[in-house]
Amino acid sequence: MINSVHISDSTVFGSSWADPALRPLFAEQNRVRGWLEIMTVLADVQAEFALIPEQAAIEIKAAYESITIDEAFLNEVGEGFLKTNHSLMGLINAVKNQCGAIGGEWLCYGASVQDITDTHTVCTLLKVLIHFLEQLTAIQQILIDLARQHKHTVMCGRTHAQPGLPITFGFKAATWLDELERHRQRLTELKPRLSVGQLSGGVGSLSSFGPQALALQKTFMQRLGLETPAVSWTSSRDRYAEWLNVLAMITSTGDRIGQEIVNLQRPEIGELSEGFVSGAVGSITMPQKRNPEISEHLGTLSRVVRYHAAHMAENLVHSHERDGRSWKGEWLIIPDATLTAGKSLALLLTLLMNLQVDKNRMLANIKATNGLVHAEAVMLRLALTLGKQSAHQLVYELSLPTQTEGLDFKQAVLGHPKISAILTRKEIDSLFDLEQSTGMCANMVDQVISRCQSL
């Protein structure tokens, strides 16, 4: 957009900040159309319950079907908002101008702004939820393939950014897969709580809908494919808070994966890397650079979503039965966080589809530790004779020359008389066998894959 202000609407940069597949759901034109549809359904149901004249419902529906939501119409709605300073009055007046003599008088009879906007937001997020589940499933399938393919690909496990013990890359991928599976379950589990519409009137009591209010409310929800609330939730915003917090968790997992790739793509490690596309530029000053752009951007996007989730937590604090300071902020943060999360999932899918795994470099980095990745195995075996604390002290002292002078740790173990008196050469060789050093990594890979494929 030529006059765009928000980065997600930028002609140049917008594609990096919002999922194009989701953008139409939050576009102003579709949002207004959605509000009108809800207002039309409400009028139809109210006419069935004889709350408004049947002719009014007919005229409102005719107006809805005849209105073209173009720039001129949106400008009319906007001008109405400026005149009234009310969120929905501009739209009501614009529709009233298109209705017959009766219909315009009965628009949104007894309904509040939140009745319309909350119901529309829920309908929109349910569509997004389906898309996100599809994205997660696609990402999980790639991770299943990676975990299975590299179930026995040995690499260095690191703690505090330092070499620790051998693991397999399949095991690392399985931790990502398992985490995303929990997020998939969270999305599935929140759906019933999110699938609840809003129709409660001015203060939530349904007093404006007469003695058949509860039946009318239920019918209205059924027409829209939504569940009926047990009580008004105009001041209870936990449904949206849960949505944003789950999105924050999902994008943070993407950030975790991206950060791992950023670290492991560093030339001094070089175990993983993003797929390189010819023509991609890493720097305008350093032409040799190949930056992990996607992995980094996953971190940027996740921060945006986490900040919005924190904002939504603030909105849980609500005064009385309606508080504009809280719920109006949702108009900004829910679309932005949702579109950003959608982009994060799309990028994560692209990243994993093209991920480069260097098995030889993983093995070389293991060897570069000069055997120190086997120190725990030596300690635990010696502990059977010496006790754990004494064995720890012995191996600690034995490892120092390896770290400071670059000596081979296995040779130090073989040459130590106290150890030679306890362990045979064959036993020591087995402690330094990479194939025996990854514990239950392969078994856990199988467990995670089996669990994900059975759900």
Catalytic residues: 160, 283
By the 8 A CB rule, do 259 and 299 touch? yes
Whole-angstrom distance, CA of residue 357 vs CA of residue 368 = 18
Indicate the burial class of 189 (C-beta count within 10 angstroms; 0-12, 13-18, 19 or more): exposed
Q: Identify the DSSP state of 35.
A: H
In sequence order, which residues have a C-beta less than 8 Å from that of residue 274 and are 6 or more positions away?
Answer: 261, 265, 292, 293, 294, 295, 351, 354, 355, 356
CA proximity to 117, closest of 21, 36, 47, 206:
36
CA atoms within 13 A on the CB side of 295: 24
Write the CB contacts of 267 (distance below 8 Å, at least 6 apart in sequence).
Answer: none
Number of neighbouring beta carbons within 10 Å of residue 344 = 29
For residues 443 and 145, give the distance between their C-alpha atoms in angstroms, rounded to a whole number.
15
164 backbone dihedrals φ, ψ, rounded to 5°: -120, -90
Three-class SS of residue 272?
strand
Task: Give the DSSP letter of residue 106.
Answer: G
Residue from 252, 135, 121, 145 nearest 184 by CA: 135
